[in-house]
Every structure is written in C-alpha cells, then in structure tokens.
C-alpha cells in the first residue's frame, strides 16, 4: 500500500511538472490632466471652468495552464488630492476590474466566467469604455465558438445586491439580468456581425410594491469593408420591449468611409442618426435610442455632450463629421469636426419649433510614443453651440466652451514566467 501511495504521488507530481504554464504580470499608471470649461454641457451664466488630474492604477495578472486561462485585474481610480497626504485609507480603495477563468474545451469551444469585459465590433453597443478611468466590466458567463471565419458568443448575467435570504430590491443602477448572442463572419474583404441583446431591469409601480422586471431588446448588424486603401463600416440597430411600463421603439443607423491617401495620411467622413422623441409628443412610448453599454466617448464628439451619462430619452441626435489622421515617426495627429442636429423636433413652449441645428464641435488630438512602455496623448476641443443647444442644455453658448487634456500612460511588464 505504501508503495502504491508513493507511485501515485510521484505520478501526480510528474503530471503537474509536465503541464505548460505561463504567468504574465503588467502594470498601468495613467494620470490625466483635464481643463473643463464647458465640458459635457454649456457653461451657465456666472459659472467658471475647472481643472483636475485623475489617475488609474492597474495591476494585471494573466495565467495560462494548458486549456485553462485566468485573469485578475486590480485597479484604483482617484483624483489627485481627493484624500489628504496623511490619510490612513484611500477614498475609492482597490477594486476588482476583471476576475475570470476560461476553459478551452476544444480548439473551437470555450467558456469564461467571472468579472470580464464585454466588447464587440466598434463598441457602439458593448464596449470597455476605456477612456473612463474606471472603465466597464460585467459579472457574466460567456460561451464562445470560433473557427477560421466565424465566431459565436453566447452570454448571460444575473445580478443581486448581496447573498440575500429573502427577496430584496436590486437598487444598483444597472440591469438585473442580461442575455445576448453575437455572431461574426468574414467574406473576403467584408465582415458582418449580428447582435441580439436582452436586458431586464427591476422596477416597482407606485400602486404596487411587488418587484417587477421589464425587458428591453437591442438588435442589429455591423458591417465592415476593408481594402488596402478603404476602411468603411455601416451599422443599424433597433430597440424594442419595455422600460418599466413604457413601450420602447427606437433605432440607430450610421455609415463611415475612410480612405488612405498615403501611408501617412487618411481622410474620412461619416454620419450617425440616433432616434429621439419630439418635445411635443405626449405619448408614453420611448422613441429615443440608448447605446446601453457602448464606449460612447468615442462617438459624437470628445466633449461628451451626448450619451455620456446625459442626453438620454431626449430629442436624439444627427452627427455628420469629417476625420483626418496623419502619422509621422512616433507622432499621431487627428482632426475631427462635427456638425450636430437634433433627430426629433425641439419645441420651445413660448416660441414654438426651434432650429434642429445644435452646434459644431472641433476635436484635435495627438499621440506620441515616447518610449516602449510610455505614451503621451492629448487634445483640445471646442463647442460652438446654438440657441437650440442652449435650450436643451440650459447653458450659454456665447461662452468659449472648450476642453483640453493631457495624458501619460505607463504600461511596463514587470514579471513574465513560462514553464
């Protein structure tokens, strides 16, 4: 018996020793200075702009053993000075941004469970929101199938406030339940994706304390066409279902075309429409499209006047823009002017229907690869608002509403091990 035990221990030890293992640990330190002078909304009379420095600090652990992958990302987000130099505790503490395990059943099938980033296509509906220092991740289970040309992701989530013993309201500002399917395929130079998303939000009626769920569906397609010179995409999404007791009927459509004039210079133009609701529409139907989990800072101007925690259930948006990119050596430059119009009628109760023109925003950005693990980026944006934008945002367009930022991102690999 003792010999049998010894052989068993030796076999297990040799098996463990033969398994290929990898561990990669990297760090990110990302401080960002911002001057906000009419950022996200027009300044009101008597208001002045402000400045601050925010910072993200992340520690990433990536582990792989045979068919098992594990990732753990710890992060702290802060504003410089939000606690005193002698503080005994941090204001925000350390949060778990990602904590997931993935098992590859075969070369084509895998499953991932835990806190993870859900990011698809151009991140209009599902995105990491990496511009935000806190970013965005979900507690979810995803199953993936992929081969050379196709990928299918099936995902779901069910949220609670704690390990409760009785039914308890879900008072977190998020969905209670989520299910989605995303499929992508390639046909030579054409790529096509299909997304079906169902989100359930908990609510109660004034006359009924019972906890209820309303389900909203977001569905659509994202298409790309790319050659050596052309980079274009098109998407259309619809929304239906309910939000509390209100019916939802909304849509989003966009088209973008980019052309490489040379190896260093690229020009493009695009248009996006997000449906809205007329200000004099008395129906209870929600006709304003919501990008839900999208990386909205990347769309509709960098000053975040639209759909970055604002402009929801409003008159919608039309965004027509040009984009110019120029790269030289370690430098990258981009210029993007936007012209914004409402998608639905803006009605002033005293003067009637207003002009649909909301304003023009000009975004200028740069990036510089300072060293292998260090990049510097920054930008300047200015909003030239209209009287209609003043009415919607309740601010003053005659102020010099502008925004400037400068960010340093340090991303060193601090440990790497492979056996």
Beta strands in 147-207 (DSSP E): 150-158, 177-187, 190-205
Other CB atoms within 10 A of residue 267 CB: 15
Give the confidence band of 4 by pLDDT, cuts at 50, 70, 90: very low
Domains of the chain: 34-418 (2.40.160.100)
User: CA–CA separation, 293 vs 312, rounded Å?
Assistant: 13
Identify the burial level of 137 via C-beta atoms within 10 angstroms of its C-beta, where 0-12 means exposed, 13-18 middle and 19 or more buried.
buried
Task: Summarize pLDDT for 148-157 with one digit per residue, the tens.
Answer: 999 999 999 9
Nearest one of 327, 324, 348, 352 to 338, comparing CA atoms:
324
Q: What is the pLDDT of residue 177?
A: 98
Give the confidence band of 18 by pLDDT, cuts at 50, 70, 90: low
Q: What is the pTM of this model?
A: 0.91
Give the confidence band of 207 by pLDDT, cuts at 50, 70, 90: confident
> Does 19 have pLDDT greater than 90?
no
Q: What is the pLDDT of residue 20?
A: 86
What the block records as the tokens of 227 is 């050659």
**How wide is the angle at C-alpha 27 spanned by C-alphas 374 and 34, nearest 5°?**
55
Task: Summarize pLDDT for 259-284 with one digit per residue, the tens.
Answer: 999 999 999 999 999 999 999 999 99
């Amino acid at each position: 018996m003792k010999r049998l035990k010894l052989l068993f221990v030796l076999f297990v030890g040799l098996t463990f020793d033969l398994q290929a293992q990898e561990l990669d640990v990297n760090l990110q330190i990302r401080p960002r200075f911002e001057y906000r002078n009419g950022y996200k909304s027009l300044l009101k009379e008597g208001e002045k702009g402000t400045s601050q420095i925010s910072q993200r600090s992340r520690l990433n652990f990536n582990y792989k053993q045979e068919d098992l992958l594990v990732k753990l990302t710890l992060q702290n987000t802060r504003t410089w000075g939000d606690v005193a130099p002698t503080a005994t505790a941090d204001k925000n503490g350390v949060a778990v941004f990602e904590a997931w395990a993935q098992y590859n059943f075969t070369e084509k099938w895998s499953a991932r469970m835990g806190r993870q980033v859900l990011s698809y296509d151009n991140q209009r509906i599902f995105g990491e929101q990496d511009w935000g220092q806190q970013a965005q991740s979900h507690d979810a289970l995803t199953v993936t199938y992929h081969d050379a040309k196709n990928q299918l992701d099936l995902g779901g989530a069910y949220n609670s406030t704690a390990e409760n013993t009785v039914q308890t309201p879900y008072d977190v500002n998020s969905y209670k339940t989520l299910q989605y399917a995303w499929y992508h395929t390639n046909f030579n130079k054409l790529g096509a994706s299909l997304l079906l998303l169902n989100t359930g939000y908990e609510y109660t009626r004034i006359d009924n304390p019972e906890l209820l769920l309303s389900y909203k569906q977001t569905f659509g397609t994202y298409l790309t066409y790319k050659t050596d010179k052309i980079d274009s995409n098109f998407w259309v999404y619809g929304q239906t279902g309910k939000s509390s007791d209100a019916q939802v009927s909304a849509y989003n459509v966009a088209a973008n075309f980019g052309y490489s004039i040379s190896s260093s210079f690229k020009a493009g133009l695009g248009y996006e429409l997000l449906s809205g609701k007329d200000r004099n529409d008395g129906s209870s139907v929600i006709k304003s499209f919501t990008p839900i989990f999208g990386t909205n800072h990347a769309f509709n101007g960098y000053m975040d006047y639209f759909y970055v925690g604002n402009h929801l259930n409003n008159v919608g948006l039309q965004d027509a823009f040009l984009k110019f990119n120029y790269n030289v050596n370690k430098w990258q430059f981009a210029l993007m002017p936007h012209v914004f119009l409402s998608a639905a009628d803006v009605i002033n109760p005293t003067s009637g229907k207003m002009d649909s023109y909301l304003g023009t925003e000009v975004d200028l950005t740069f990036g510089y690869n300072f060293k292998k693990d260090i990049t510097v980026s920054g930008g300047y944006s200015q909003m030239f608002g209209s009287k209609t934008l003043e009415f919607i945002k309740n601010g003053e367009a005659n102020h010099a509403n502008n925004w400037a930022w400068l960010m340093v991102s340090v991303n060193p690999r601090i440990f790497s091990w492979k056996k």
